[in-house]
């Protein structure tokens, strides 16, 4: 582990406690999926605060021009990060949720397909964007959002999430596509 990375995690016990607070729900939303339910972490204020602090410290050290929060659980982490960085918060939403003209991108999930929309004119031209979600599974949602930001004029995008589901390959998929990834805990 590099010296810089160590400063983002207060201690190994905190990281383990954060991971242990996330409940696994088998066969949700369909049989065979092991859903990582972060709501069990959110009711533990000290662990939630620690997870947010880790994400914010990393983001502060990394310098971004805007934060794009992915609907819906990215909305739990993205706003706090954007406020702490003092940068715009942009919402990446499902179809029909944004009232003005949007740009969109379709993608596949481990249990279906979906589409992400961002309001036109909100992504800073040539900006460095931080895409935030709760969990990286197959990486489809984050990849579609990062690619959409680039087609909307961003120079680069980086993905951050609370958790990474290593066996599903999303982190590797994102890095292979040129989008670096930061996450607090692995499963």
Over pLDDT 90: what percentage of the chain?
87
CB of 112 within 8 A of CB of 140? no
Q: Give yes or no for residue 9 having a pLDDT over 60.
A: no
**Chain CA centroid to CA 14, Å:** 20
Could you read off the pLDDT of 69-87 as tens digits, one per residue?
999 999 999 999 999 999 9
Could you read off the pLDDT of 157-175 as tens digits, one per residue?
999 999 999 999 999 999 9
CATH value at residue 127: 3.40.50.2020
SS3 for 97?
A: coil
Count up the domains in the chain and report the number.
1
pLDDT at 108 (0 to 100): 81
Measured over the CA atoms of residue 128, residue 134, residue 136 and residue 137, the dihedral's sign is negative
Average pLDDT over the chain, rounded to whole? Answer: 93
Domain extent at residue 138: 3-186
SS3 for 46?
A: helix
DSSP-based helix, strand, coil % in the chain, nearest 5: 35, 30, 30
Measured over the CA atoms of residue 16, residue 19, residue 21 and residue 23, the dihedral's sign is negative
Q: Where are the alpha helices (DSSP H) in the chain?
A: 3-6, 12-21, 39-42, 45-62, 74-85, 140-151, 170-176
């Amino acid at each position: 582990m590099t010296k810089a990375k160590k400063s983002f995690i207060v201690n190994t016990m905190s990281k383990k406690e954060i991971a242990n607070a996330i409940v696994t729900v088998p066969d949700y939303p369909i049989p065979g999926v092991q859903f990582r339910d972060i709501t069990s972490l959110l009711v533990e204020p000290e662990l939630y605060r620690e997870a947010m602090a880790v994400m914010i410290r990393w983001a502060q050290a990394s310098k971004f021009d805007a934060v794009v929060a992915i609907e819906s659980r990215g909305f739990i982490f993205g706003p706090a990060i954007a406020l702490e960085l003092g940068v715009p918060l942009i919402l990446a939403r499902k179809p029909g949720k944004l009232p003005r003209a949007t740009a969109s991108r379709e993608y596949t999930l481990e249990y279906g397909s979906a589409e992400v929309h961002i309001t036109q004119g909100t992504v800073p031209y040539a900006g460095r964007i931080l895409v935030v979600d709760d969990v990286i599974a197959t990486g489809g949602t984050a990849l579609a959002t990062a690619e959409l930001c680039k087609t909307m004029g961003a120079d680069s995008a980086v993905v951050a999430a609370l958790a990474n589901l290593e066996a599903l390959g999303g982190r590797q998929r994102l890095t292979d596509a040129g989008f670096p990834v930061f996450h607090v805990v692995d499963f």
